[in-house]
Amino acid sequence: MKKAYLTIIWSITIVCIVAGTLYHVGNFASGFSFMGHGPFARVANSGNNTVVSDAMELDILSREAALEIDGDLMDFTIQKGDSWNVEYECTEYLEPEIKVDEKANGKTQITITQPNASKYSGNNFNNVNCKLTLTMPADASISDCNVYLDLGDMDIYGVTADAVDVQMDLGDMDIDNCDFNKLTIVSDLGDVTIQNSKIDSGDIEADLGNTDVLNCDFKDMKVVADLGDVDIESKSNLDEYTIDAEVDMGELKINNSKYGEEYHQNGKAGTLIIDASMGDAVITW
């Protein structure tokens, strides 16, 4: 009876999430002409939508920077390389604005934005896209990274950061070979994958999509999944961790052993909390 009731509730929830997302996306896109193109800027015409691209070095002397991203429609990547630089290719009215501010306290702030896109809702959205890659020096780090994406995927590769906070309406999140003191992810619709990384404190909320934390070290990790599977593969031994795992509708496995709807153990080395409403939860170490 409980599972039948939950099925009805979650079916209604899924319809509401998808309908809301499609309504939101239907009013999308954004446009902004970058203030001063770099030396490699070029413009091309693709059907009814002009495509622009640019590659530029960022004038940053410090080895640490804070990052703010606000995108309406953007696939965004952060990766390691030789220097601070940005490269993008996008439909003209989705062109981002990139700002670098050197604060009085000596800290560097990088801000990448796409303004409100509602005024472009009548445009032809065939072949609309925006792909942006931020590259940072191999020995550099990010102090604070705050990202809000309405529509698009986000990838972070090989990055060290103090605090990363990501909110995504529709898109997949992929983190690989990273080291974060604190990670917060709120994903409305899309998969979240974290692998080969060290996360001191992680908090993940996934409304609709799978959450995979694979071959990772963590001290404190919390995953709340409304609809989707949760797979936790710890690189470290969790015998001395406090674990609270609950599954409303789905299968719960701990080290290949099946449990009912709940699993609990006490420990002082760290914490792992899993709350899966509709989907399987698997924990291995």
Domains of the chain, residue spans: 2-30+62-79+99-124+132-284
Local structure of residue 39 (DSSP, 8 states): T
Q: Measure the CA–CA gap between 169 and 74, rounded to whole angstroms.
A: 12
pLDDT of residue 93: 84
Q: Following DSSP, what letter does each residue of 78-136 receive, concatenated?
A: EEEESS-EEEEEEEGGG--EEEEEE-TTS-EEEEEE----GGGTTS--TT--EEEEEEE
Q: What pTM value is reported for the model?
A: 0.84
pLDDT of residue 106: 75
Residue type, 151: L
CATH number for 2-30+62-79+99-124+132-284: choose from 3.40.390, 2.160.20, 3.30.70, 3.40.50.
2.160.20
Query: What token pair was written down for 274?
Result: 């899993």
pLDDT of residue 98: 96
Local mean pLDDT, 10-residue blocks, the chain (285 residues): 46 54 44 34 51 92 93 96 95 92 85 71 62 97 97 97 98 98 98 98 98 98 98 97 97 96 97 97 98
pLDDT of residue 128: 72
- Are the C-beta atoms of residues 241 and 269 closer than 8 Å to each other? yes
pLDDT of residue 168: 98
pLDDT of residue 25: 46
pLDDT of residue 83: 95
91 strand-pairing partners: 51
Q: Following DSSP, what letter does each residue of 47-90 receive, concatenated?
A: TTEEEEEEEEE----SSEEEEEEEEEE-EEEEEEESS-EEEEEE
Local structure of residue 228 (DSSP, 8 states): S
Report the 10 Å Cβ neighbour count for 22: 11
